[in-house]
Amino acid sequence: MRGQSEVLELSASLGKISDLDEAMDQLRLIGRAIGIPVVSFLDDLSSQSSEPVFAGRARHAPSQTFIDFQRIWNERQYRFKSPVYLACRTEYLPFIWQVNGRGPATMGVEAAQKNIEFVRGYGVLGGICVPIHAPRGRVGCLHFIDHKGVDLDQCLEAHRSALIMAGIYLMNLCLNRPASQGAAQPINYLTRREIDCVTLAGHGLTDEEIAKELGFCPGTARFHIDNAIRKLNAQTRVQAVAKAAQLGLIGSIA
């Protein structure tokens, strides 16, 4: 692990880079400097079209193991169930998580266990996650993924400021890319009933249970949830809940 000043300098240099691939190459240098060379970045946790970018992957063909990991991760929609990503919505400072359950409260949620066991199967031991909160409720995640049993506490204590700086510069780069200009859609606010239904769906209730709770038939519950999915430009019920939470349209679902 290199010194604080060197890592700060590497992070500060991200502010002068305007190309994402180049920025990810720089991020790989930062990862190597702190002893965690596997680094990913996701600029919008709720966007179906936003995919995690791994430092250095643009320059090299991915391995079959990585291809298999990504395929299963997407097929099982682990992204929307990830306790690390869920924690990013409520945490503002970098945090440590480990496969033994250490980390934010979301790590203890029963639904998170399959997610954790999945990444453990690919040799992941934990990591340092840097939440990035951008305008209009957008939340990103800079993730240093530990495969070697690094002393994460020592690493975070030494480099917290540099990692926060890196995350801010990366998000700023994404927000200012020409392809992103004008891409943001106006926020579609939900009706009171849509908010009620999506909130209860976020707590795991079925259409029948939501209907019983709110005093109408299951078909009406499904109608309101379908409307919310459409308004939020979501693909699934889970994604609609995630987007509504990110935008602050519903309360906490933790």
Considering all CA atoms of the chain, what is the largest pairwise distance in Å, rounded to the nearest integer?
A: 62
pLDDT of residue 73: 86
Reading the block at residue 77, the tokens are: 């929609």
How many C-alpha atoms does 59 have within 13 Å on its Cβ side?
Answer: 10
Round to whole Å and give the CA distance between 28 and 105.
29
CA 245 to chain centre: 13
pLDDT of residue 151: 96
pLDDT of residue 15: 94
| Residue with token string 């309101």 | 224
- Tens of pLDDT along the chain (254 residues) come to 678 999 999 999 999 999 988 999 999 999 999 999 999 999 988 776 678 889 877 666 778 888 899 889 888 878 777 889 888 888 999 999 999 888 887 676 676 788 899 999 999 999 999 999 988 778 899 999 999 999 999 999 999 999 999 999 999 999 887 654 444 444 456 778 888 899 899 988 999 999 999 998 988 999 899 988 888 888 889 998 888 887 777 765 55
Task: Output phi, psi for 142, to 5 deg.
Answer: -105, 125
Q: pLDDT tens digits, residue range 37-95? A: 999 999 988 776 678 889 877 666 778 888 899 889 888 878 777 889 888 888 999 99
pLDDT of residue 101: 82
Neighbours of 171 (CB within 10 A): 23
Q: If you write DSSP's letter for every residue of the chain in order, what string do you get?
A: ---HHHHHHHHHGGGG---HHHHHHHHHHHHHHHT--EEEEES-TT-TT---EETTGGGSPPPHHHHHHHHHHHHTTGGGT-HHHHHHTT--S-EEEETTS-SSGGGG-TTHHHHHHHHHTTT--EEEEEEEE-GGG-EEEEEEEESS---HHHHHHHHHHHHHHHHHHHHHHHHHSGGGTTTPPPP-PPPHHHHHHHHHHHTT--HHHHHHHHTS-HHHHHHHHHHHHHHTT-SSHHHHHHHHHHTTSS----
